[in-house]
Amino acid sequence: MTPHPDRELATPDARDGIARSPARRRWLRLHGLIRKESLQIVRDPSSILIAFVLPLILLLLFGYGISLDAKRVPLAIVIEAPSQAASSIAGSFMESEYFAPRILRDRRAAKAALTEGAVDGIIVLRADFARRLGSPDGAPIQLIVNGTDSNTANIVIGYVEGTWGKWLEIDSLERGAPMASAVVAEQRVWFNAELRSRNYLVPGLIAIIMTLIGALLTALVVAREWERGTMEALIVTPVREGEILLGKLVPYFVLGMGGMALSAAMAVWVFGVPFRGSFLVLLAASALFMLTALGMGLLISTVTRNQFVAGQVAIIVTFLPAFILSGFLFDISSMPPVVQALTHVIAARYFVSILQTLFLAGNVWSIVLWNAAALAVMAALFLGLARHKTRKLLD
């Protein structure tokens, strides 16, 4: 006989489980499981460390550590024969805030400095520079960069071209023959006018850090229960497999969201990254991503059923793939098509895109909704697979 719901409410402390409605029984079971997991978390503080201390340390370290903005580039300027023109060019590099130049007399010392990595580039003004200046071919100025770090080399080339262009302009004015360009470019960098790489790297880093945390929090928990045999103990109780997973998910979800909030707050108040989207959208997207990351950890844990292997898998499939394939540092649209297709299985990719847009551009729905939908699909997939695997293991 099914009890009347009103009666059920009237006697909330009834100990007789059979007398309760299925929904309430399910809730009580879930409540018990969540309580059990939460107690475990509190007793072994490593989860709390992972959720709060890890983002704090990593974000501080990376926020300051990762920067693509080369500043005060060490440069060697070789002046083979002193002349007024040569010192005028050298002067414009000395004055520029982008360079830390030193003047050398011969090329050999400069080349050694470049090989050692003591300078990032060499500017060579040859002995015949002053003589050939203004001749029909123009005097050649040689710039040699260390191509080992191609990205820095490109940045150095850009800086040198800029300083060089300015010198040409001033020089032509001084000679009374203004060398006007026909067309000048007006450059507009939207969303990040000063081109601070930190502004886009920090939101991306949050996605990487939360990937690690989500996987770390759950990758071992189910595996540990299997290893210790407590999973079997749980199974013989009337709880269902979905409830076991949900019971594990809820406390870690709360922890993970706490870490996320801390990271977002640090991005804005410590690193001064603008936040132009809405807080609610950030909250919703973070919740979806947290479910995906935790779901991945649960799946690893369920499939391996062994903490040792679960730990190894978690290290290998989370960190480097998220670091390299998420678009946080390396632009996805520049990757070969096959690799671009592969990036679709990296959950961090969607979250990086959402975070960069929310922080720097605002609520751009065409980006937010599409990526959020992808995250929802991945979360459902991971959690569904974890549940399916748990059920299969029971049979």
Partner 1 sequence: MWGRIRTLIGKEFLAIWKDKKSRTVVIVPPILQLLVFGYAATFDVTHIATAVYDQDGGPAARDLVARFEGAPVFDPIVKLDRESEIAEVVDAKQVGLVVHVGSTFSHDLLGHPPAKVQFIVDGRQSNTALIILGYANAVLDSFNRDWAEAHGMSPAPASLVVRSWFNPNLLSRWFIVPGIVALLTLVVSIVVTALSVAREREIGTFEQLLVAPFRPIEILIGKSAPALLIGLGEASGIIALAVFWFGVPLRGSLPLLYLGLAIFLLSTIGVGLMISSLSRTQQQAIFGAFMFLVPAVILSGFATPIANMPEWVQVATVVNPARYFLEVVRGTFLQGMPAPLVLDLIWPMIPIALGTLGAAGWLFRHRLQ
Q: Please, which of residues 108-167 interact with partner 1 by CB under 8 A?
A: 114-117, 129, 132-134, 136, 138-155, 157-158, 160-161, 164
CB 349 within 8 A of CB 343: yes
Q: What sign does the dihedral 256-261-262-267 (CA atoms) show? A: positive
Subset of 203-222 contacting partner 1 (CB under 8 A): 212, 216, 219-220
Question: Closer CB to partner 1, residue 34 or residue 368?
Answer: 368
- Around Cβ 285, how many Cβ atoms within 10 Å? 23
Q: Check: CB of residue 302 under 8 Å from CB of residue 221.
A: no
- Rounded CA-CA distance 68/329 in Å is 10
Q: Which two tokens stand for residue 221?
A: 């928990």
> Of 8-16, 237-245, 260-268, 327-335, which part binds partner 1 (CB under 8 A)?
327-335
Scanning residues 340 to 359, which ones bind partner 1 (CB under 8 A)? 342-343, 353, 356-357
Task: Work out whether 229 is an interface residue with partner 1 (CB under 8 A).
Answer: no
- 221 half-sphere exposure, CB direction, 13 A CA radius: 28
Q: What angle do CA 201, 207, 208 make, to 5 degrees?
A: 85
Classify residue 138 as left (phi > 0), alpha (psi -120 to 50) or beta.
left
Q: How far is the CB of 248 from partner 1 (least distance, A)?
A: 14
284 or 315, CB closer to partner 1? 315
How far is it, in rounded angstroms, from Cα 289 to Cα 285? 6
Fill in the per-residue mask, 239 to 278: x = in contact with partner 1 (CB under 8 A), - = not in contact. Answer: ----------------------------------------
Could you say which residues in the range 22-41 bind partner 1, by CB under 8 A?
Answer: none
Of the residues 1, 16, 84, 185, which one makes contact with partner 1 according to CB under 8 A: 185
Taking the complex as a whole, the smallest distance from the CB of residue 205 to partner 1 amounts, in Å, to: 9
**Binder of partner 1 out of 190, 229, 269, 280 (CB under 8 A):** 190
Stretch that binds partner 1, among 91-99, 184-192, 265-273, 278-286 (CB under 8 A): 184-192
Over its C-alpha atoms, the chain yields an Rg (Å, rounded) of 30
Cα torsion at 273, 279, 283, 284 (round to 10°)?
A: -120
Report the alpha-carbon distance of residue 139 to residue 85 in Å, rounded. 11
Based on CB atoms, which residue is closest to partner 1, 239 or 367? 367
184 lies in the site for partner 1, by CB under 8 A: yes
Among the listed residues 286, 304, 351, 379, the single contact to partner 1 using CB under 8 A: 304
Q: Does 316 bind partner 1 (CB under 8 A)?
A: yes
Give the nearest distance from C-beta 151 to partner 1 in angstroms: 4
Decide whether 96 or 353 has the Cβ nearer to partner 1. Answer: 353
CA dihedral of residues 301, 302, 304, 305 (deg, nearest 10) = 90
- C-alpha–C-alpha distance, residues 350 and 327, integer Å: 9
Which DSSP letter does residue 136 get? T
Instruction: Tell me how many residues contact partner 1 (CB under 8 A).
Output: 115
Query: With respect to partner 1, which residue has the nearer C-beta, 26 or 191?
Result: 191
User: Do 118 and 85 form a contact (C-beta atoms < 8 A)?
Assistant: no
168 binds partner 1 (CB under 8 A): yes
Site string for partner 1, 44-83 (x = CB under 8 A): x-x--xx---x--xx--xx-xxxxxxxx------------
User: Residue 333 Cβ, how far from partner 1 at the closest point, in Å?
Assistant: 7
Give the footprint of partner 1 on residues 364-383 (CB under 8 A): 364, 366-367
Residues 22 and 2 sit within 8 Å (Cβ to Cβ): no
